[in-house]
Chains A and B, each alone.
Chain A
Amino acid sequence: MAVLKIKYTKTERARQKKILKVSLRMLPLFEAMEKSLMVTINTIAENIERIKEAIEQNKKEAAPWIAVISDSWVDISSYISANKIITKPVDVAGVRVQQFEKVDFDVTPITDETPLWVDNAIELMQDQLQLLAEIKCLEIQIEILEEELLEVRARIKLFENRRIPNAKTAIRKIGQKLQDDERLMIATAKVVKTKKAEEVKI
């Protein structure tokens, strides 16, 4: 651990007091931010689970007819594809993230030759693509929020383990040193005064 270098002056003591005051005011804010980020991350993770359940539910509902998707007459991938995910920037727990809006699909128009099941498959695939895209956005949000949480935790650690104790130590040491200096000055003055008085008597 690095040795704390202190300037034993009144100005330094005032500076350290200011640091302590600001740090004590900032710490609860960072703690609240940490709590808020943790709650938000948990909520997003729960949302991801909920969406995953919806995906599984869709699969379950499609299971009785999923076999038709392998129809040798149809290449379903030529009917639907996701072009891009549209997002909008929002602030979540004070952090700027991208929120899922919709998926921009490329859907080939259905013709008279297109079997009827293709309609169901396109609906299912659109649903699944939307849900998966939403998960992707939420996972990115979690990544960003976790990075922010790490930074906030590092700051809390800094305040708790270094800034506040260091400032307190510095204030105490400067106070002691200043008191010692004052006592020494008074004692020296007394000695000088006594010596002067003795010289006058002689």
Chain B
Amino acid sequence: MPNLVYLISSLPSLAFGQSPPITLDSFHSEAEEQLSSADYKKLSELDLKYISEAETGKLKSFAEVIKELKADVLEIRNAKINERSPAVSTLPKTVLEQNALEREKSIMKWQWEQLTNIDSGEMFSITQICVYKLKLQILHRLNSFSAEKGLEILESVVNPTIKMEEEE
């Protein structure tokens, strides 16, 4: 417990939209030093991208809302295919009007808020550390969005050498 208190106290605070104050590697090495091997194993295996309902405690409820989010995303995709208005249940309806970047940011903000809800009321628990990691992942992902890099990637994908073939 004292180590957990020390770890939580030593971590810089996080705010949505800011540049990540620490790297995920530094966070992991800090956590590895302070946590028990079982807690560290749980933390290192946790990944926002692949979070599943196999999580326990409050993280399980977070995994459940992520599942609902995925159902909404599927509904948006199906609605587009069938040329109808999507009926989302979890995501705010405003995301439907946004462009791809704004929509992704809104989804991430929504995830952030869900994590903040989980975090509230927690005092120096492993859940708090897990939430911190998930939020840090959101910040790193958000920070990876760059118009310049995006354009570079677009150009590299659309300018390959393609062979030509006569239609049979």
Report yes or no: B162 in contact with A88, Cβ–Cβ below 8 A. no
Give Cα A121–Cα B151 distance, bound, in whole angstroms.
11
- Given known A86-B165, A88-B166, contact A68–B145 (CB-CB < 8 A): yes
Report yes or no: A65 in contact with B164, Cβ–Cβ below 8 A. no
Complex interface: chain A residues within 8 A of B141 (CB): 71-73
- Given known A70-B144, A88-B167, A116-B76, contact A82–B149 (CB-CB < 8 A): no
Complex interface: chain B residues within 8 A of A104 (CB): 165
Complex interface: chain A residues within 8 A of B104 (CB): 68, 71, 115-117
Report yes or no: A103 in contact with B162, Cβ–Cβ below 8 A. yes
Complex interface: chain A residues within 8 A of B146 (CB): 67, 70
* Any A CB within 8 A of the CB of B103: yes
Q: A70-B153, A136-B162 are in contact. List 19 more A-B contacts (CB 8 A).
A: A62-B154, A65-B99, A66-B101, A68-B145, A68-B150, A71-B104, A71-B144, A76-B153, A84-B164, A85-B164, A85-B165, A89-B166, A103-B162, A113-B70, A115-B107, A116-B73, A116-B103, A116-B104, A140-B164
One digit per residue, 1 when the CB lies within 8 angstroms of any chain B CB and 0 when it does not, for chain A 169-182 equals: 00000000000000
Report yes or no: B151 in contact with A66, Cβ–Cβ below 8 A. yes
Cross-chain contact of B162 among A82, A98, A115 (Cβ < 8 A): A82
* Any B CB within 8 A of the CB of A43: no
Nearest residue, chain A, Cβ from B164: A85
Q: A-B pairs with the 9 shortest C-beta distances?
A: A72-B144, A70-B149, A69-B150, A65-B101, A117-B100, A66-B150, A65-B100, A128-B158, A120-B100
Complex interface: chain A residues within 8 A of B157 (CB): 76-77, 80-81, 125, 129
Query: Which residues between 98 and 125 of chain A lie within 8 Å of chain B, taking CB atoms?
Result: 98, 101, 103-104, 110, 112-113, 115-117, 119-121, 124-125
